[in-house]
Structure formats: C-alpha cells, structure tokens
Structure 1
Amino acid sequence: MASMFGKASTFLSGGNEDTKKQEEGESLTTVLETAEDRSSLTILISDVTELMRKQILDTFDPKETGAEEGQVTALSNDSDEQSNVEKPSDKEPDDELQKILEKQKSDLVKREKEVNEEKMVALKTSALEFFDDWRDTVVIRVGEVVNSRRTAKDQSKQANPEITKPNDQPVLEGIEANEQEDTITDALLKLYPPVETALRKLTKEKRILVLHSMLLLLLSLEHYNAYSRTLLLYLATSLGLSATVLSEDEKKVARGLLTAAEKMSADEETKKRAEDNATARKWKMGVAGVAGAALIGITGGLAAPLLASGVGTVLGGIGLGATATAGYLGALAGSGVLVGGLFGAYGAKMTSKAMEQYTRDVEDFAFVPIPKPGESETDARRLRVAIGISGWLGDKDEVVKPWKCIGPFQETFALRFELEALMNLGNALTSLVTSAAWSYAKSEIIKRTVFAALTAGLWPLGLLKASRIIDNPWSVANQRAQKAGEVLADALINKAQGERPVTLVGYSLGAKVIYVCLQQLAERKAFGLIENVVLLGAPTPCNSADWRRIRSVVTGRVVNAYSTNDYILAFLYRSSSIQFGVAGLNPVLNVKGIENVDVGDLVKGHTLYRHATAPILKRIGFEDIDLQEIDREEERLAEQEKKEEEERQAAENSTKKPDVGDKQEVGDEEVHRMEQEFEQKNKLS
C-alpha cells in the first residue's frame, strides 16, 4: 500500500518536468509552475469554501434578513404617504422613526425565537456537519495533487473569511457579449462574487485548465453534488471566466465519461470493487477513504480502460494530458459502474418504469426527458439535471412545452404527475378566467385597496356562485401536488438522478410540488442535492420559517417570482390563511438568500404563467436558457393574453346583466354556461 501511495506521489509531483510534459501534456503541476501558484489555488479554495460556509450560517442568523434596507425604505414610504395628508408637526417624524425602530426590534425577537427552536437548531447543525465533511474531502483531494496533505491543511487555515473583491471591475472571459449574457453575468457576479487571487494573472488558457482540473478532481470524489458545482462557479468568477466556460467543460466531460463507460468491459473484479465501494458509502459522502481510493485507482490498473478507449484524449482535448486526466478522475476513470452511478442507473433515462418504487401514493408520476434537437442518447447526457414542473394543463403536451426553454447545458426533464387532475384544473381555470363573472369580479377587486385582506365574505356574489366550477378541481390537484412533492423528495434522496446537482423550476401547483419536496429534504437532512430552485406563482405560505428550511437545502439560487396582479391565485387561496402571506402574491421576507422578483407586468393572471415562464427565466438571468425558444414564448404570452380578453368580452356580450349600476351581479345563467363549458372540456380531454 505504501508503495502505491509513493508511486502516486511521484506521478503527481516528481519526475522530469520536460519529459512528463511531452508524454502527458499539461497538468496542474505544469500549469501552476511555482510553489506560490500552488499555494494560491489551495488558499483560494479555502477562502471560497469559508464563504460558502458563512452563507449557511447567514441562513440561520436572525440579524441577516437579506432585505433590511428595502424594508426600511418601504416603511419610510408609508410614512411619507401619511405625512402628505396633512403637514406633520416637528414631533411626528420622531414618532414615526420610533415606530419603525420598535417594529424592527419586535421582528428581530420573533426571528430569534424562530431560529432557536429545537428543530431549526438541529437543521443548522446537520447542514454544517454535511458541508464540513464535503469541504474536508475537497481540500484533502486538491492538496494531494498540488501539495502534501500537511501543507494543504496548513494553507487551508490561512483562509480569509472576508470577501476580498478584485480591485478592477470584474470581466468574465470566454463568451461572446450579448444582452442576455450580460444579464447572466450580472447575476453570476452578484451571487458568486469573485475572491481576490494571484491566479487571475495567469493566461486565459491556463486559468481554463485550472478550472478543468478542479472539475475532474471533484468528480473523483465519485459524486458531483450541488456544493461542488457552487464551488466551481466561485472559482470561475474568481479566475475571470464565464459560466459558459464551465458549462461547456461539463458537457465535454459528461460525453467523454459516458463514451468511456460504454467501451469499458466491466470484469468481475471491477464490478466487485464498485459494489463494495457502493455498500461502504451512504448517499451522504463520508470523508474517510475517498482520496485514498482515487490514488489507488491511479496505480491499481483502473486507468487502463480509459486510456485504451482513447477518451483520455477526449477529456484532455482542451490541453490537459490524458494521463493527468485519468489520475485526477481516480477510480471513476476505470469503472463503468461508477460512471453509471454518477449519471443515475448507468446513464439510463429517468422513466416511469424506473420510478415505480417511488410512486405508491401518486398515480402517473414520471420524469419525461426533453431531448435537444439532433442529439443522440449519449450526447444528451449532462453533469447537471433540470426538472420542470407544470402546475395545470391545457393539453397533455403542456407537461413538456414550457420547459423547452431550458438551454443545452443541463439534462432536462419534465415531471409528469396526476395528468387527469391537472387537466381538470386547467379546464376549470380557463372557464373561470374567460367568463363574464370573472371580468366583473376583477373590476370589483381593483376598486378595493386592501388586496391582501380579501376573504371569502368580501368576494363578489357572482364569483362566489361560480366558485363551484373551480374549487373542487383546485382542491383535488392541490392535494395531489402535496403527495407528488413527497414522492419527488424520495426519488431525489434515492438518487434517481444519479450523483448530479438538480435545478427545479415550476409554476402554480408545480411550484407547490417543489415547495413540499424541499420541506421534505430539510426534514430528512438531505443536503447537497439541489443547486437552484425557481418558484413561479407559488400557492404556498411565505412565512420565514418554511423558507429558511428551503434555503438550507439549496446551495445556489432560490427565486420567488410573484405577481400582485394575480387575483385568481388570491381567489383560489381565499379559504387558507391569506393574511399570513402567499408566496405567489408577496415577497418572502427576513431570510438571507431568497431572491424576490415581482413579475406583475408579465403576469396579469394566474393562467399566464404557462407562457410567462420563459420570459421570467430570461429576466432573472437564469444561467442556461434557449433564447430562440424564449422569443417564441414571449409571442405566445401576448397571444394568450389577447385571447383570454377576447373570450371574456364575448362572454360578457352573450350574458344578460341587470341594469342596477354598481350593485349588479352576474346571474345564475352565466354560472350555468360556465358549468356546461367546463363539462364539455372535460369530455374532450
């Protein structure tokens, strides 16, 4: 064993440099030529991981609200509006300021009580333990390649917990400038601010090789979890590289690994070794043995199949040598079984058949692949997964259609669940929003100034008569969404998607599925699975405790897109505790790391989220989008809005309304027409 480690050490750091470069191409030890350069990489990783750890702490810090200045401004604006009514006395400004300070103090006390609850403390402890275990494996693995273990640990202690931004204006290289890329870059720099490092002075080619090497080293841990991906995004911005550089690299590596896996002949010894390794590991990666296994892989013959298949050249295509590539990948380089585990079921698609064991409580639950045009099954594989979830359906194709806007750097799936219930809901929503009853009710709602205070008793009588059209389909679909969220959490924990980071995007009840899933992940202390989540028009509470739990299990972005114009959602949610807030109607406050985006200008009603999804993703600087598909969806959004308005006008013109001025109510005739329309649509579907 000692001789193996000795040989591995010699391979990584010793030997004649010129000879190695000729035979093996570039490696980290040739790119980082000096001890200072190698030290800079170790310190940079330590600085970034310390920053990531602080973000976890901020999630559970009652003083870190993430929007404190905005809240003070809002309170000040309220005071200004009141002061315009009559000229205030000299004492009144002091009184208003005192009220603001008292409210802030009261809110802080509530948040302190919230984060000190036993379950929240346990969640924080588990989140930090998982992160610390992952960080240890990364620091040790990188240290073995560029330094000794002792040196790596010593340098990691030099980590600076404070963010040190570069002096110059950050410019990320590697992309062609366009308006959308600028939006993505702005979002990237805000979310993953660059950390000062001497490595920024390296040539662009060398910086790309450093990032490429880090990707391979992280994969050698035999997983690519969400924390690993977040680390690479920080490294990319700190090295002055765009997210596109990283995404292109991920795409090439995925293709190379799967090509290698297809060519590998998994003999009994390799199979047994992989099975023993899988048995020893829990889904949460432990520290012990990971780096050692990778080193043994270099000298134990496992790299041979990779090199024999020529995939070392594929992965080294951007300049890294084939032997260095195999060495950095460790055991993953020589085992088709391990590669298959990384991608989920040996690269197989997540089909309904594979999901049967998770679907005891939900009918019709499946991941539907959304292939990219012209790509083969192997070419479609990626190191990241995106799952889109529709919240109601106008037709069966709408399970998939909204998610074609997700770009080529993620393996995209649509989650299909409870098709019949979502079709019924879609038909009911269409009948409601195109009715004269809704047109009249909307005009009445707009007259009322306190939208958030609406209760069942305040809604117009005509709309309450029509509620029987929508209430039952909504209730049924809402309950099914709850179950689907629980099943989705179970599937992710059991690695149906493999060992890859997942991005979840959903609108309406699709957002409810995601919300429930994330609550379940927090309950079960399942960290490192989810990279980003985007919830659109979520029919869920917006209390800080629930969203604090959500933030704890997502390593990247948590986006809450809401519309204050979504009166349909308010109506559907009227029997719940609307006074406590609805995420689809209000911003989520007092939790650090939640991005609130008001999309009221795009979404005039709940039914428009179907076509507004792509434009919203464009607006928030979503990292991976198809601009052509987004242009098409923007056109469809305008068409859908126009169509609904025309249908409402037609319904109004065909309905006899009593001439009683402001007290008019849509009669039973209109409600009967809606019922007939709803029944007819259900028969057709």
Structure 2
Amino acid sequence: MSSWASKLPSFGQSKSAEKDETSLITLLDADQCADLTFLIATITASMRQSLLDTFTAEELPLDSENAKSEEEVLKDAPSNLDDVDVAKDDKIKKERQSREEDARKELALPEFKELKKEMLTYFDGWRGSVISRVGEVVNSREEAKEQTRHVGGKQVEQIVKKSEAGMTSIKSLDAKDEDEEKAFKNLYPPVPNALTQVEEGKRALILHSLVLILLSLEHYSAHSRILLLYLTTSLGLGRDILKKDEETVAQGLLEAASHQLNADAETKKAADASQTARKWKVGLAGVAGAALIGVTGGLAAPLLAAGVGSMMGGIGLGATAAAGYLGTLAGSTVLVGGLFGAYGAKMTGRAMDEYAREVEDFAFIPIHRSQDPEHQDNESRRLRVVIAASGWLREPDEVSKPWRYIGKGTEGFALRWELKALLKLGHSLETFVTSAAWGYAKKKILEQTVFAAMTAALWPLGLLKIATMLDNPFSVAKYRAEKAGQVLADALINKVQGERPVTLVGYSLGARLIYSCLQKLAERKAFGLIENVVLLGAPCPSETADWRRIRSVVSGRVVNVFSKKDYILGFLYRTSSVQLGVAGLQPVVGVHGVQNVDVTELVDGHLQYRFVSGSILRKIGFEDVDIAEVEQAEAELAKEKENEEKERRRNEGSGGEEEVGKLETEVEKKQEQSFMQIMQQKTRNLDIGGFVGGRAGKGGQAEKVQEKEEKTEKIETGKLA
C-alpha cells in the first residue's frame, strides 16, 4: 500500500489534473482537509481505546444474575441515608474487589497478553494505512500522520464513554420508542468537528469519497465499516446515505468489470487459456452474473478504470477522482472478484470434503432468492454480509425462514448445518413443551428462579422421566455446533465472504455455533473480519475470559440477549457447569464492549426466539430489519402459543411411562416426515447450497451421509450422556 502513484500513473492526485472535476480537494480548502484528517484520527483513536478497554478489569456488580442497568440502579437508590445497611455495603464492596482481583489475574495470563498484543498490532496496521491513504488524497501523508499525534486523550475517553454498551432491558427500549436515526447516533456518537458547517451535499460527497478511499486498501475491513458509521454521524448525515453509497459502489464495481470483459474478446480468449483465470471464471460467474475473470494479473485496463469512474461519478464525484480514489481496485477484475468472495462463492462438494471433515452438512443459503448466485444480478450485491444460524428446526425450510426479516440492504445468508441433528432436536423440543409433564412442571417452577431450579434440583420427577428424549438430541446437537463453529471460522479466515465485513446472528444452538466460531477466530488471531455479533438465548458460558476473546475479534457491537424466564434453556443446561454461568439466562459482566439486553418481559420460553428475534434486533438498532416481516413473525408467535396450549391440553391425562412412549413415537413420526421432505427436495434438485456448498446436499450421497450420521450419533451419545 506504499506506492499508489506508481500503481496508478493515470490517476495522480495533483491539483492541476483535477481542478475541472469535483473531488475532495475542490470541495474543501486546506483547513477543511486538515479537519477531515484530524476527525479520522480522532475516531480511529477512540476505536483503538474501546478495543484496549476489553483488556482492563471493569468494576463488576455483586450478583451477575441480578445485574442492573444504570437507570435501575438510580431508581432503586435509597432516598433516606438512615436506611443504608453499612455492613451489607461493606460485604458487597469486598466481594466486588475480589472479583476485580480475579479479573486482573486473568488479564495477566500469557494468553491474554498475546491476544491483546496481536489485536493492537493488527488495528494499528489498519489505522496507519487509513491515515496514510487519506493524507495522500487530501494533503500529505506526513501531515496526516502528524494529526494523529495531537488527538486528545480526554476527547477519546469521552467518545468511548458515550458509546459504552452496558445493560439494557427490552422494556426500557420499548418505553423510549426512539426513531432509528436517534438510536443510530446513540450507538455511534458524533465527534464534534468543523465540517458540520459545510453544506449537506458536500458532506455527502465527503462520505462518498471516504467509502472509495477505504476500498482502495483492497479490502473492506470490519474496522473500516465502523469508521464510516462514526464518520456518518460526525458529518451530521443519516445512515441511509452510507447504505445507499455502499449499494452504488458494489453495483458500479461489478457492472464496470462486466463491461470491461464483454468489450474485449481477445482478453476472454487469453483468459480461457489460463488455468488460474479459469478458476476465477467459475467463481466470479456467481458474483456478477457474467464471466468476471482476472485477465492480466490485474492491472489496468483503461476501459475498466474509466467505467468505474463513470459509474462512481454518477452521485456527483468526478469520474477521474472516483477511479483515482479506488486505486488499483479500479483497474483489476481479480481484485473486484476477491472483494466479493468470488472463488468462495462456488466452492465444490469435493473441496468441502477436505474443508469440513467433521461436519456432515454445511452450506450458506441465500435468505432472499434474488441473492441466490444462480439467479442474482449486480443490483443484489452488497458490500456487507450477514450470516444467520438457527438453533433447532422443525422443518427443513426453517434454515432460512426465521431470518426473512433481514432486509436486502445487506447480503444475507442462512447457515445450514447438521440438518438431521437440528430437526431431531426441534421435534423433541416441540413435543417436550406440549407434554403434560412440562405443563405441570412450569406452574411449579415459575415460583422459583431458573438458577434456583438448576442448582437445587427442583425439577419435578415426572419431568425428569421424560428428560432423556430431550437430553440426547440436545447433547448431540451441542457437540455438532462446536464443530460447525470451527468450520465457519475456517470459512471466514479463508475469505469465502471475500474482503467484506460479516455480521453474525444466531439463536439457541445457532448462537452456540457462533460462540464457538469466535473462540476459534480469537485463537487464530483473525481480526477485522467480524463487524457485529448478536447472540440470542445462547447455551454457552457467561465467563469473562470467553467473552473477552469474543470482543477482541469483533470490531463493532457484541450483544448478548438473555431471558431470566427461559426455563427450557435452564432445564437443558441443568447438568452442565452452572458456576460458569449461562449467557442465555443472565448478563455477561466485566467485559467492556459487551451489551446485555434483558428480554425477560418478552421471552418466557426458549422456542419463542424463533419468532421474536427480528423484533428484538429492530429494538436494539440492528441494521436492515424488514418491519413487515417482523410483524408477520410476531403474528405467527401468537398462533404458535395457541397451538402449543391446545396440544398440551390434549396430552393431559397421560403420564409416567405411557407419556414417555407416546412422546417418543411422536418425535419419530415427525423425524420421518422431515426426512421425506429432505429427500423430495434433493430429488427435485432444490437443495442448493448458496455461497458455500455442503456435502449432505449432493445427490446420491444421502444414504451414506445418513449411515455415517447414525454411527457418529451413537458415539457422541455415549460420550455425552
């Protein structure tokens, strides 16, 4: 990234060459250019500080189960000092000090010292590249670097403090009823700067230019996306302007690359003769709907560069400036393809045999048909990716159905993993919660907290009799989630998503899978890949060490959504190590940058996450949520509750061994129906695996896969029972 001028001699940044065009140096005077580099230096310094705070011992509340938001603490504070119990307060203080001492010991471990060092090394490298590149465009590298030395420590601390995650209840979010833009500014507080005095049209062009300049680094790092979000609020602009820019750039790059290749028959002929180019041809066909192939090792067909400049200039930025800001990306179809994960988009089943040996079924399914590589065009491509993971299934199409609320502002994929294991778990869960035993038990345990029921073994005997029908499927699926999470980490490290930031969302064991993936990314020091993470009802530990690792590899938000009334999760987790905590039942405390959202008021059953995840994400300010789809899912939940109650009443009257046998028969029947659905899909060749293909979806292998799964399940059940 050191010699941009030599790579693009046609697009030098001299003022004389660009006076007749709209560019940053025609939009801004010298002082404003300096303001821009200082603003970027300040934002990146605050981003660095926020990451650094991950490795500090935060003040901890006494009882993580009963952790309160700042609002709740103030509300509950005694008005009369005579009512304060001094002895109790001293005990709380001592226990808090003990926990903070444990945190300091944890942070002193070589593992965390090494993780912190590697995280900062990566971030500082990225930050240095950004500052140098921006300086190269608007003033000079040395001047831009000098700006970073004058960023005030107090200002950085204030920005970090404003954007602290903390603890939130879904009830308080409902009460605030904030509009999207206000919530956006709360998440990414604007940094005061003189550029807000510039007229809005010019500020929009500044942001547009920065999108191109950051892409010229030949990747769209998760850190780059977070920087742009802060720049958007700091320039007084709405998030929709940034999202529109991202869409335009994605479409423009791919369109220009397509035109370049279609215009030159000799280039195509040469590419077909090249083995390397053939590889790209296969992969890129799924990206642009045309044979986007790397042609001459990448540089610079003038037509491509001119085409990119023309496409990008449509918003108001000069064509030469736009192409120049993109750097080598404007002249290389290989780099354009790499940005969008071209080769990874069409990984073969054979490649997956080596890639995912321990996972029988692993594929990325486009959430929206228009984003299916078999049907899409350039207009459906995006610079961001969301991967969503379900935690249990009742029908094969529930791989993607729960995630239909994810809007088309991002490229959305549902992760299909271990279909058979998740169907068995889903059928067992559905049958379990409609059983008479669970109906009786729920009335009894509602008098206790989930943790009391877990630690004091308060589960009724009738419930424990039918527990095996649920415990084994859960243990098997939980084990598979660990393995699938490691495969997902490998996929992301190998850039199947291209050079684009990824947001991960999952509920139940889908959240466990993401948790496993992030642990693996931290172990392999893979930074800059993940933009945001949201885990809903996660059956995984709430230990600070684990969440510190997670936070280190996520550039943006880490959100833990939990419910204190999720008795099903408590029951499933009752034989696990409760002292490590359960993230889906309580807040994660003591780790800077982790936002805890208490949805107890909304969720009183584990199976409800399937229907309310969209509603929760919309309330916490998640991007690209389709409100119409959210409302439809909420209506489905009401119907689901009604059916669940009817089924439970129907099951009343049976009990003991009779109910166990009846429930097991019901699960087997549902399982058989699901397997028939899968086989019918395969027969009709509908079982496509979007952005990465999986082994189980290939015709002719179903019987072998089933046989191997049954053997694996027996082994796992033996290990985990």
Q: TM-score, length-normalised on structure 1?
A: 0.85
Shift of 1:97: 2.0
Cα distance change on mapping 1:411 and 1:357 into 2, 3 Å: farther
The residue identity in structure 1 corresponding to 2:57 is: P
What stretches of structure 1 of length at least 5 have no aligned partner?
A: 171-178, 277-299, 657-665
Aligned position for 1:291: none
- The superposition leaves residues 485-523 of structure 1 with CA deviations (integer Å, 9 ceiling, x where unpaired) of 000001100111100000000010000000000000001
Aligned counterpart for 1:241 among listed residues 228, 231, 237: 237
Task: Please give the secondary structure, in 2, of the residue aligned with 1:506.
Answer: strand
Question: Within 5 Å, which residues of 2 pair with 1:607-618?
Answer: 607-618=607-618
Aligned position for 2:603: 603
Aligned position for 1:217: 213
Q: Tell me how far apart the structure 2 counterparts of residues 604 and 453 of structure 1 sit (CA, whole Å).
A: 15
1:337 and 2:315 are equivalent in the alignment: no
1:407 and 2:403 are equivalent in the alignment: no
Q: Tell me how far apart the structure 2 counterparts of residues 563 and 348 of structure 1 sit (CA, whole Å).
A: 37
Aligned position for 2:94: 102
Counterpart contact for 2:11–2:320, Cα < 8 Å: no
The residue identity in structure 1 corresponding to 2:123 is: F
The residue identity in structure 2 corresponding to 1:668 is: E
Shift of 1:445: 0.9
RMSD value over aligned CA atoms? 3.4
Question: Within 5 Å, which residues of 2 pair with 1:298-317?
Answer: 302=300, 304-308=302-306, 310-317=307-314
Task: Please give the secondary structure, in 2, of the residue aligned with 1:345.
Answer: coil
1:678 and 2:670 are equivalent in the alignment: no
1:54 and 2:49 are equivalent in the alignment: yes
What stretches of structure 2 of length at least 5 have no aligned partner?
A: 164-174, 262-266, 278-297, 675-721
Counterpart contact for 2:385–2:412, Cα < 8 Å: yes
1:570 and 2:570 are equivalent in the alignment: yes
Counterpart contact for 2:24–2:209, Cα < 8 Å: yes
Task: Please give the secondary structure, in 1, of the residue aligned with 2:379.
Answer: coil
- The superposition leaves residues 607-643 of structure 1 with CA deviations (integer Å, 9 ceiling, x where unpaired) of 1111111111112111111111111111112111222
Question: Within 5 Å, which residues of 2 pair with 1:184-583?
Answer: 184-265=180-261, 302=300, 304-308=302-306, 310-345=307-342, 348=345, 355-371=352-368, 376-449=376-449, 451-452=451-452, 454-455=454-455, 457-583=457-583
Aligned position for 1:173: none
Shift of 1:397: 0.4
The residue identity in structure 1 corresponding to 2:55 is: F
Counterpart contact for 1:453–1:578, Cα < 8 Å: no
Counterpart contact for 1:184–1:623, Cα < 8 Å: no
Cα distance change on mapping 1:252 and 1:182 into 2, 3 Å: farther
Task: Please give the secondary structure, in 2, of the residue aligned with 1:162.
Answer: helix
Shift of 1:580: 2.9
Cα distance change on mapping 1:2 and 1:251 into 2, 3 Å: closer
Cα distance change on mapping 1:190 and 1:524 into 2, 3 Å: same
Cα distance change on mapping 1:544 and 1:441 into 2, 3 Å: same
| Deviates most, 34-43 or 623-632 | 623-632
1:593 and 2:593 are equivalent in the alignment: yes
Aligned position for 2:145: 153
Cα distance change on mapping 1:638 and 1:269 into 2, 3 Å: same
Counterpart contact for 1:351–1:368, Cα < 8 Å: no
Task: Please give the secondary structure, in 2, of the residue aligned with 1:561.
Answer: strand
Cα distance change on mapping 1:270 and 1:434 into 2, 3 Å: same
Task: Please give the secondary structure, in 2, of the residue aligned with 1:425.
Answer: helix
Q: Tell me how far apart the structure 2 counterparts of residues 2 and 583 of structure 1 sit (CA, whole Å).
A: 47
Shift of 1:648: 1.2
Shift of 1:181: 10
Counterpart contact for 2:405–2:625, Cα < 8 Å: yes
| Deviates most, 604-613 or 668-677 | 668-677
Cα distance change on mapping 1:221 and 1:647 into 2, 3 Å: same
Percentage of pairs with the same residue: 53
Q: TM-score, length-normalised on structure 2?
A: 0.81
| Structure with more relative contact order (C-alpha pairs < 8 Å, separation 6 or more) | 2
Q: Tell me how far apart the structure 2 counterparts of residues 358 and 477 of structure 1 sit (CA, whole Å).
A: 20
Q: Tell me how far apart the structure 1 counterparts of residues 178 and 82 of structure 2 sit (CA, whole Å).
A: 48
Q: Tell me how far apart the structure 2 counterparts of residues 320 and 269 of structure 1 sit (CA, whole Å).
A: 34
The residue identity in structure 2 corresponding to 1:386 is: V
- The superposition leaves residues 195-225 of structure 1 with CA deviations (integer Å, 9 ceiling, x where unpaired) of 1111111111111111111110110110001
The residue identity in structure 2 corresponding to 1:221 is: L
Aligned position for 1:123: 115
Counterpart contact for 1:343–1:383, Cα < 8 Å: yes
Cα distance change on mapping 1:188 and 1:73 into 2, 3 Å: closer
Q: Tell me how far apart the structure 1 counterparts of residues 471 and 315 of structure 2 sit (CA, whole Å).
A: 57
Instruction: Say how many residue pairs are matched.
Output: 628
Aligned position for 1:14: 15
Cα distance change on mapping 1:184 and 1:356 into 2, 3 Å: farther
Cα distance change on mapping 1:7 and 1:488 into 2, 3 Å: closer
1:40 and 2:35 are equivalent in the alignment: yes
Q: Tell me how far apart the structure 2 counterparts of residues 48 and 402 of structure 1 sit (CA, whole Å).
A: 36
- The superposition leaves residues 364-408 of structure 1 with CA deviations (integer Å, 9 ceiling, x where unpaired) of 101111236598332221100000101100100000111111112
The residue identity in structure 2 corresponding to 1:490 is: D
Aligned position for 2:687: none
The residue identity in structure 2 corresponding to 1:332 is: L
Shift of 1:305: 2.4
